Copies of this chain bind each other. A is one copy, B any other.
Amino acid sequence: MLTKEEMPACPVATTVQLIGSKWKLLIIRNLLTGTQRFGELKKSIPGISQKVLTDSLRSMEDDGIMTRKVYAEVPPRVEYSLNELGESMRPIISAMEQWGTAYKNNQ
């Protein structure tokens, strides 16, 4: 993948840079319904490994898409929620959702 510095000045490229990787769109899709714990996310995204989920969450946190809140409890509880930037991706997810639905109906 191109680094942010190498990216052409194209809005679509900017977007792909942030959420083009494999699982992120699915994570965002799940968080759009509200805050979720790590285990809930893992369960709601069949096939994702713990490592990939963790890596993706960290990366999205760094990109300012969502926030991570750790509760000092035993057993530990960690909640993930989209912040404003992540929320603003809703139209993209909606468009993909609609497209995917239409596509499946034509198969």
Contact = CB atoms under 8 A, between A and B. Distances in A.
Interface of A: 1-2, 6, 8, 10-16, 18, 20, 22, 25-26, 29, 45-47, 85, 88-89, 91-104
Given A22-B1, A47-B8, A91 B100 contact: no
Specify how many copies of this chain sit in the oligomer. Answer: 2
Contact of A97 (B11, B26, B98): B11
B12 A25 contact: yes
Secondary structure at the A interface, as helix, strand, loop or mixed, is helix
Given A6-B47, A20-B20, A22-B1, A15 B96 contact: yes
Given A95-B91, A98-B91, A26 B14 contact: no
